[in-house]
């Protein structure tokens, strides 16, 4: 955090004073949001969060794909049944290779 009156920059996480951008390295300090320790922690937390989001997303995608495949199989079975009537045994044999 930046105090615009005093120019003091503090860590947004633990509140440690990082410096004063009015007297110190302005461009370095205005970019800093966290102290080096917190920066490492925040990055780790962000990565953990990102990984869990990613896992969740791929689980949902898998579920969706399985559902799509199930629907396609059903559709396929239905089309075969329509085309070959009661003779589904034979049609199954015929399409085994597909």
Tokens of 9: 């920059």
Of 10-18, 48-56, 60-68, 76-84, the window that binds Zn ion (rule: CB under 5 A) is 10-18
- In the block, residue with structure tokens 């495949």: 69
Tokens of 84: 């070959």
Residue 8 makes contact with Zn ion by CB under 5 A: no
Q: How far is the CB of 16 from Zn ion (least distance, A)?
A: 5
Distance CA 75, CA 53 (A): 33
Using CB under 5 A as the binding rule, the residues of this chain from 56 to 95 that contact Zn ion are none
Residue 44 or 66: which CB sits closer to Zn ion? 44
Q: How far is the CB of 44 from Zn ion (least distance, A)?
A: 13
Contacts with 19 (C-beta within 8 Å, 6 or more apart), sequence order:
8, 9, 25, 29, 32
Tokens of 91: 């049609």
Cα-Cα end-to-end distance for the chain: 63
Interface mask toward Zn ion for 30-49; x: CB under 5 A: -----x--x-----------
Q: How many residues bind Zn ion (CB under 5 A)?
A: 6
Rule CB under 5 A: which residues touch Zn ion?
Answer: 11, 13-14, 16, 35, 38
């Amino acid at each position: 955090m930046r105090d615009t009156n005093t120019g003091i920059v503090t860590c947004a996480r633990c509140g440690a004073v990082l410096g004063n951008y009015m007297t110190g390295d302005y461009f370095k300090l205005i970019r800093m949001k966290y102290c080096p320790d917190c920066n490492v922690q925040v990055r780790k937390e962000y990565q953990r969060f990102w990984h869990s989001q990613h896992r969740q997303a791929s689980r949902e995608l898998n579920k969706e794909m399985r559902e799509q495949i199930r629907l396609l199989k059903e559709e396929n079975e239905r089309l075969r049944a329509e085309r070959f009537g009661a003779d589904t045994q034979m049609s199954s044999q015929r399409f085994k290779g597909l």
